Amino acid sequence: DGRLTFYPGNQTVDLPFVNFMKRYGTVFLNAYTNSPICCPSRAAMWSGLFTHLTESWNNFKGLDPDYVTWMDLMQKHGYYTQKYGKLDYTSGHHSVSNRVEAWTRDVDFLLRQEGRPMVNLTGDRRHLRVMEADWRNTDKAVTWIKEEAVSLTQPFALYLGLNLPHPYPSPYAGENFGSSTFLTSPYWLEKVTYEAIKIPKWSSLSEMHPVDYYSSYTKNCTEEFTKQEVRNIRAFYYAMCAETDAMLGEIISALRDTGLLKKTIVIFTSDHGELAMEHRQFYKMSMYEGSSHVPLLVMGPGIKEQQQISDVVSLVDIYPTMLDIARIPVPQNLSGYSLIPLLLGKAEDEASPRGPRPSWVLSEFHGCNVNASTYMLRTGRWKYITYSDGHSVLPQLFDLSADPDELTNVAIKFPVIVHSLDKILRSVVNYPEVSSSVQDYNKRQFISWKQSLGQNYSSVIANLRWHQDWLKEPKKYENAIDKWL
């Protein structure tokens, strides 16, 4: 959970390099993703635009490959740029399953799309490099800093994208299933304090919000879990955070060893959080804190040390911030606002020419494991979540100051607040219209995919990630799709 792991005073797992960044830099306590899934959130981060503007509706549909990102602009303005690891912001990635599950979310059926979440301990106490691909990319970045960056005559921008912390693919469930295995080694698990792990409270299945129930079901979380299973999943997740922290440490150490640290701004953030059995879910795709809240730490020359900022910020702010750092004029059409005034401790009134940063952030989700377009407005103590057209599914309102675990929906109790938050949301995005255009898009995409398969359609659709459920009654599910079409 982004809050537990990255909040100051966290007792669950030791993250020495995140703590180093807190000590010598600034931590944003209320940073959010603009869409809690890989591709759409990265599209927001690389473009500075909200999801409904990039139309990045699912994990397959991101930015066009020729979109001008902040890194492209920095390169154009004399920066040497280098990228390693997971990028994942252009269209055309992720499996057929991801797409079809997103397109068919309006179909009247419930199918498990993921393996049951579980843990797997690998190797022994000497096994440090569990996520080998991430370590290889970290090594490449370290080598680049030590061999290339150090002798550059121009300024540089280096990006390193990691997969961790993220559940691994689950071979036990068949090759088509998603990633539902929390994997670590004894080396990292020993860094987690089991006693400090909170077991999240769950509502009963019958009391769950209908969209939450759909998510829990498709994520294979509606059956029984013992306290020990839940505690283990959470512990393994924290252990994966510790391994991630060590990769951050390699970068910081390489910058320190080359003398570059004192003249380099370092930003550590994530495309989304990862639920670890809060609200009876794992994975992301949810507006609950564990999934939508992200770490955001910044340190470097001019950045205030030991500063904790409670203003709400989000990933669309990265684009204008990077341009601001490089003193490149910031385009006026962006959804985000530069973080530099906050980082330098400046008063808001001397901030951007566009006027002050809004007091809210927006996150939205249109992809798989959720059966309605979802919109979240976070401002002050409130988190307002509304679905679809705004009335066919009940909205949710959480008072995060009184209810940080988001267990009590107070939307009915505070109609005036719901009304005013909904008004702000509609001034930013005409969300009933967006929901309806996503529905049209899903149907169009599904129809052309179905036609492209011809005779093979029935066998292909039966063997996607929901195959274990589907194959019990294939005709029933095909008919549900026909009825939807």
Domain locations along the chain? 16-443, 444-484
Q: Which amino acid is at 62?
A: G
Per-residue pLDDT of the chain (485 residues; tens, 9 = 90+): 445 556 666 789 999 999 999 999 999 999 999 999 999 999 999 999 999 999 999 888 889 888 999 999 999 999 999 999 988 888 776 778 889 999 999 999 999 999 999 999 999 999 999 999 999 999 999 999 999 999 999 999 999 999 999 999 887 666 666 789 999 999 999 999 999 999 999 999 999 999 999 999 999 999 999 999 999 999 999 999 999 999 999 999 999 999 999 999 999 999 999 999 999 999 999 999 999 999 999 999 999 999 999 999 999 999 999 999 999 999 999 999 999 999 998 765 555 667 789 999 999 999 999 999 999 999 999 999 999 999 999 999 999 999 999 999 999 999 999 999 999 999 999 999 999 999 999 999 999 999 999 999 999 999 999 999 999 999 999 999 999 99
The per-residue pLDDT for 174 is: 65
CATH number of the structural domain 16-443: 3.40.720.10
Of 167, 272, 274, 286, the residue nearest 215 (C-alpha): 286
Residues with catalytic roles: 38
**E strand spans, 241-330:** 266-269, 275-276, 282-283, 293-294, 296-299, 307-314
Query: Phi and psi of 257, rounded to 5°?
Result: -60, -30
**Residue 282 to residue 272: CA distance in whole angstroms:** 13
Tell me which DSSP letter residue 124 carries.
-
Of 297, 344, 345, 336, the residue nearest 314 (C-alpha): 336
**E strand spans, 75-229:** 80-85, 118-121, 156-161, 168-169, 179-184
The per-residue pLDDT for 161 is: 96
C-alpha 261 chain-centroid distance: 28
Q: In degrees to the nearest 10, what's the CA dihedral of 466, 467, 471, 476?
A: 30
The per-residue pLDDT for 1 is: 46
Residue 89 φ/ψ region, left for φ over 0, alpha for ψ in the -120 to 50 degree band, beta for the rest: alpha
C-alpha 356 chain-centroid distance: 26
For residues 125 and 187, is the Cβ–Cβ distance under 8 A?
Answer: yes
Strand pairing of 179-184 and 118-121?
parallel
The per-residue pLDDT for 351 is: 53
**Strand, helix or coil at 25?**
strand
Q: In degrees to the nearest 10, what's the CA dihedral of 441, 446, 447, 453?
A: 150
Strand pairing of 307-314 and 25-32?
parallel
